[in-house]
C-alpha cells in the first residue's frame, strides 16, 4: 500500500490487483436561481462519492491486515524475549528449531504462556 510514484495517487493492492485511491469528488454548486441542485446532479455526485468511499474502505481493510500482522510480530518478539528470561527451555526450542511445524508449535506455546502471564 502506498503511492505508486511520488506524484501519483495512493494505490492499494488487493489480490494482486491495484485499487487506486484519490479520485476527485465532484463539486456541487447549487444554482440558487433555478431552485438549488437538480436531482440528477445530486444522484451523480452521490454515485461518485459512494465509489470513492468503497475504494477507501478497501484500502483500510488492506492497511488493517498489515497492521494486525505487524502488531502480532511485535507481540511475538516481546514474548520470545521474556521467555528467554523466564522460560529458557521453551525459548531455546523455538529459536533453534528449523522445522516450520515445530517452530509454530512452540510459537503457540510461548504466546499462550505470555498471554497467561500478562493476563
- pLDDT at position 111 is 96
Contact 103, 94 (CB under 8 A): yes
Q: What DSSP element (H or E) covers 94?
A: helix 88-96
Domain definitions of the chain by residue range: 2-118
Report the candidate in 117, 114, 40, 37 with the shortest Cα–Cα distance to residue 75. Answer: 114
Largest CA distance in the chain: 81
Report pLDDT for 110: 96
Q: What is the model's pLDDT at position 30?
A: 62
Q: Split the chain (119 residues) into runs of 10 and give each run's mean pLDDT.
A: 56 71 60 68 80 82 89 96 95 94 96 92
Q: Residue 12 forms beta bridges with which residues?
A: 19
Strand order in the sheet with 17-20: 2-3, 10-14, 17-20
Amino acid at each position: 500500500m502506498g503511492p505508486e510514484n511520488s506524484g501519483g495517487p495512493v494505490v492499494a493492492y488487493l489480490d494482486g490487483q491495484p485499487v487506486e485511491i484519490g479520485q476527485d469528488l465532484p463539486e456541487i454548486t447549487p444554482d440558487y436561481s433555478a431552485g438549488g441542485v437538480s436531482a440528477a446532479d445530486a444522484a451523480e455526485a452521490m454515485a461518485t462519492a459512494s465509489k470513492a468511499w468503497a475504494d477507501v474502505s478497501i484500502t483500510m481493510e488492506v492497511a488493517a491486515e498489515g497492521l494486525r500482522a505487524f502488531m502480532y510480530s511485535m507481540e511475538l518478539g516481546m514474548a520470545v524475549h521474556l521467555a528467554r528470561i523466564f522460560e529458557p527451555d521453551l525459548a531455546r526450542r523455538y529459536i533453534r528449531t528449523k522445522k516450520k511445524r515445530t517452530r509454530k508449535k512452540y510459537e503457540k506455546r510461548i504466546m499462550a504462556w505470555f498471554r497467561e502471564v500478562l493476563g
